[in-house]
Structures are given as structure tokens and as C-alpha cells.
Amino acid sequence: IERDSLSDIPHQTPIMAFVSFLGTNANPKVVRASSTVSANGFLATASPSHSKSRMHVGKSKLLMQASAFGPNKKVNIAILGASGYTGAELVRLLANHPYANIVLMTAEKNAGQKFGSVFPQYLYGTFAKNLPTLVRIEEITSWDGVDIVFCCLPHATTQEIVMKLPLDKLKVIDLSADFRLSDVNNYAKWYGGEHKCPDLQKQAVYGLSELARDAVKNARLLANPGCYPTAAQLPLIPLLRDNIIQADDIIIDAKSGTTGAGRAAKVGTLFCEVSDGIHAYGVATHRHAPEIEQGLSQASKKDIIINFTPHLMPMNRGILETIYVKLEPGKTVEDMRACLEKQYANETFVHVLPPGVFPETRHVRGTNHVIINVAADRVPGRAIIISAIDNVNKGASGQALQNMNIMCGLPESLGLEQAAMFP
């Protein structure tokens, strides 16, 4: 894989989590959320973060009425490529999910071992002891009983696996880039090989959770967005859709922790190569550029080419993106703020910070949260957007779990309610 708790930042409480009781025997209230979807598939207005399904909210339980999953039927999960960083993060998050049941985990080099021998933090604890032994994918003889498959495999590997899966019986969430680009010719250009299952690509749903809920809800094959594209698209799409910023002058200066490069040993991510320095990489060639351009072009209804330069930082986790944009004539930074606040007013995981408070990666470390702010540039007619995410969480495994919750009709925040790991 290419690669919240702020006391002074107001937190928007989801409407569906707001419940009061008259007494111990009071009936739980039923709340219904709504959303509006524009023609291009993105949410046109802000919507509560648990989609349209009816929910029963009672004392300490939050259950989806329409979901087949709950206390009496857990979601049976397979994690393919569990020995990488995204696989390990999924396991960490699923440990806190009340309805998740990991039934299958694969790894090639570590097949036959317990997960705790690969990640020692899972050598102890009740949850860890119940994890299945790692196996090779080719050893799997049946997918019976599996509800969700998370693919945490290298690019170009997932296609060969997914085309053999019974998609009529289970759902797949792919954390690689194999199904993110809707144009298979564009995929071949950027990833150096033909797409092996173009028919499946037509079925794939791009799962930017907050902006594609209805599509995610019905997906059988979901392409989980990349880390840099998540941090870029969440602020930019609403602004382009509402014609507040210009489409032809977007500059993204992005910085990421080293987990974005994956767990395989590489000279460029050795301690001495990364520590005490910062460097740009993938200059004008990074594979996340076409993914960002795809989403922005759909929002603006015209082709967009961006300036995108990523940098490697001497830290484990986190992405900070500073985005420079040109305002449409007559538009102001206040219009930008109003647009983003309206879009994300009721979201659990996306937050527009107060004026003058700017995102820091430490404030989202280990969480599924996105923090955003905007500011006027000194150059007239220009503005600056800053966004921060945890690249392994919201940029990968956290958003994948959020999408699983949507696909299974469960509250989006299940398993994702951790506060940031700071200090």
C-alpha cells in the first residue's frame, strides 16, 4: 500500500447518537436520517453519518433496524494480506468492533504462524488469542460463511484474487489501487500493466465514505480510496462542485509518514535514510495524482489536472496536505468555510476547525478523523486549504472499516471511536 481528540475544537455530535430517556423502562426513540445525492454521486448537502436506515437507540446499544448483523449475528471477516501495516491496523480496529468476527487471515511469508509472532502486541489478550492462524491464499478451499473480505494486498495482486471470489455471496473491500481508477487504460498507464478484469472494474464502487454513501451501501466490490486522495478530495470536491474555487489552478503539497510506503524492507525507508530529513518523491509521477484528478473532474464536470508533490517525513503515521487554490471571481474564503461547514456539519469524522486553528497530524494519530481549515492567501484571489489525516487509518484501514459498516447496515462509527494517540 502506497502508502481526536482536541479539547479546544468543537465536536459535532451525530443526530442519531443524541437520545434521552424518561426512565429506565422508556422505549428507545427511533431517529431517521436523510441525505441528498447529486447527479455525480456525491452528497449535495450535509447528511448525518449513519445513512438513511432507521435506527433503534437504547441505553448502551446502537443497532441498525435494517441490518442483518448485530449481537446475534456477527460479520464474518477475512483479511487477505494481514501481515502488512494496513492488515495490522484493521485487526487493531476490529478488536473494538462489537459485531466483527475475524475468521480468516492470510500471509505468504508468515503462513502457518500466529498473528502474534508477526506483531508481538497480539501475543496476549483474549481477542488476540482467538485470532486464526495465518494461511496462504491458495490454501483456502471454501469461502462459505465469509461476509466481508478485506484485500490488503500489493497492487496488481488483488485483481487475480477478486476475480476468483464468489461476489454473489460475499462483499470485497480492496485497499490496493486495483479498482480505484474507473478507466482501465488510465490504470495501465500509471500502474504499468493491463487491468486483468475490466468487467469487474465496471462494478467497483469508489468508497470515499462521506461523499458516496448510497453507492457504498449497495456495493459488492468496493475500492477503498488512497491516503493522499482522501485528504485532498474531502475539502476540494464540495468547493469545486459549488463553483467556489477554480478547477485549473490546484497545487497540492503533501507530506506523509513512512508507513505509507508499506512494511517491505526498502533502502529509502530505513531509519538513517528517513530520520533528520525530508524529501520529495514521485515528483510529477505519483500514482495518486490520477485518482485525485478523477474525483475532482467528476465534481467539476470537466477534466482537471493538478500539481501534486508528495514528501516523506521522519514520522510513522500521518498526512498533512497544504493545498493552494484560486477563488472564482466574487468568492471569498468565508464562502469556502461556509461550504465545507455545511457539507460536513453532521459528520462524525470530518471536521472544519475554527478560524486560525490549523490541522496537525498528531491530533488525528490513530483515528479515522479528518481535520480541515482554510485561510486567505497574501496573494489576492487565492486561498490555502490544510487537511490532516492518519494515513494508515482514515487513509486506509479506518475508512475501509467505515465502509464495511455502511455496507452491512451498521452505525458508521463502530470500531472507530478511538481518541487520538497524543501525547
What's 138's DSSP letter?
G
Element (H, E) at 322: strand 319-326
Cα 37 to Cα 42: distance, rounded to the nearest angstrom: 6
Helix (H, G, I), strand (E, B) or coil at 12: coil
Considering the candidates 151, 197, 227, 408, report the single residue annotated as catalytic.
Answer: 227
What does the CA dihedral 136, 141, 145, 146 come to, rounded to 10 degrees? Answer: 30
**How far is the C-alpha of 405 from the C-alpha of 409, rounded, in Å?**
6
Q: What cell does 191 get?
A: 500502474
Place of cell 485487526: 91
Q: Are 380 and 329 in contact (CB under 8 A)?
A: no
380 Cβ partners below 8 Å, 6+ apart? Answer: none
227 classed as catalytic: yes
| Calpha distance 62→372 (Å, rounded) | 28
Which residues have CB under 8 Å from 293's CB, separation 6+? 303, 304, 305, 306
Which grid coordinates belong to 290? 490520477
- Calculate the CA 60 to chain-centre distance: 27
SS (H, E, C) 250-263: CEEEEEECHHHHCC
Cell numbers found for residue 264: 517491505
Question: Which residues are identified as catalytic?
Answer: 227
